[in-house]
Amino acid sequence: MARKKISDKPRRTILIVTATEAEALYFSQMRKDCRFSNLTVQWEQEFKDLEHLITLASRYRNSGNYSVVWVMFGLADMGLSPSDVKAQLAFAKQKKVGLAWTNPSLPLWFLLHTQTPRGFVGETKLIESALAKALPGYTADASYLLTDGMYLHLKLFPSKAKAALNANSYNRLVEEKLGLSAITLVPLLNDITDICGLADLTHNQKQLGMNKG
């Protein structure tokens, strides 16, 4: 009987470079919860602007030999307008860096797990207020993801497909007004699934149950 040949094809890897600590903490939760060992998350604290952040991510891609690299950022966090982002799309493509953004910030993604706003919500305070009703103890501060929100990704995961659908619906609502999608996390999440595989959450169920109790 012939032996099955073991593939020596290198394992694909993905790097997410984030503009904020909260983004890094959330995607680090995802890495841990889903057991995505070939996903690396890096909070880049030293950058001048979006172009510089893309340049740094490209350098990390080459030095770390990553298969795919993404930059994750919120427009409000970086003081960007939709036109500022559009101006960097060609540069990011040239540098082989994917851009995943939220407008105004990451909490929009959390909100889309529960609802689709009826129009563009550019005020972060409005999003935070809505989340505080859905997630007791919620705050937008990064420290939340290290305390009351340390299991946030795990809690939101069952609604991931709903959030993706809501994101598509929300983008259709606001693209005409803004000239740019309000949220582009779905392509990033698709890349993560393609490279890392399906999430394995079985080891987390007991822990989440204990946390609820």
Q: Residue written as tokens 């890094």?
A: 24
Confirm whether 213 is domain-assigned.
no
Confirm whether 5 is domain-assigned.
no
Q: Which two tokens stand for residue 16?
A: 């997410």
Confirm whether 207 is domain-assigned.
no
Q: Residue written as tokens 């080891």?
A: 203
When pLDDT is cut at 50, 70 and 90, the band that residue 202 belongs to is: confident
How many alpha carbons fall within 13 Å on the CB side of residue 97? 29
Confirm whether 107 is domain-assigned.
yes
| pLDDT at residue 117 greater than cutoff 70 | yes
Confirm whether 23 is domain-assigned.
yes
**Cβ neighbours of residue 78 under 8 Å, at least 6 residues apart?**
19, 49, 50
Confirm whether 76 is domain-assigned.
yes
Using DSSP, how many helices (H) and how many strands (E) does the chain show?
A: 11, 4
Confirm whether 95 is domain-assigned.
yes
> What is the domain extent for residue 125?
14-202
Confirm whether 55 is domain-assigned.
yes
pTM of the model: 0.91
pLDDT tens for 129-174 read 999 999 989 999 999 999 999 999 999 999 999 999 999 999 999 9
Residue 18: is it exposed, middle or buried by C-beta count within 10 angstroms (0-12/13-18/19+)? buried
When pLDDT is cut at 50, 70 and 90, the band that residue 200 belongs to is: confident
Domains of the chain: total:
1
DSSP code, position 65? T
pLDDT tens for 20-54 read 999 999 999 999 999 999 999 999 999 999 999 99
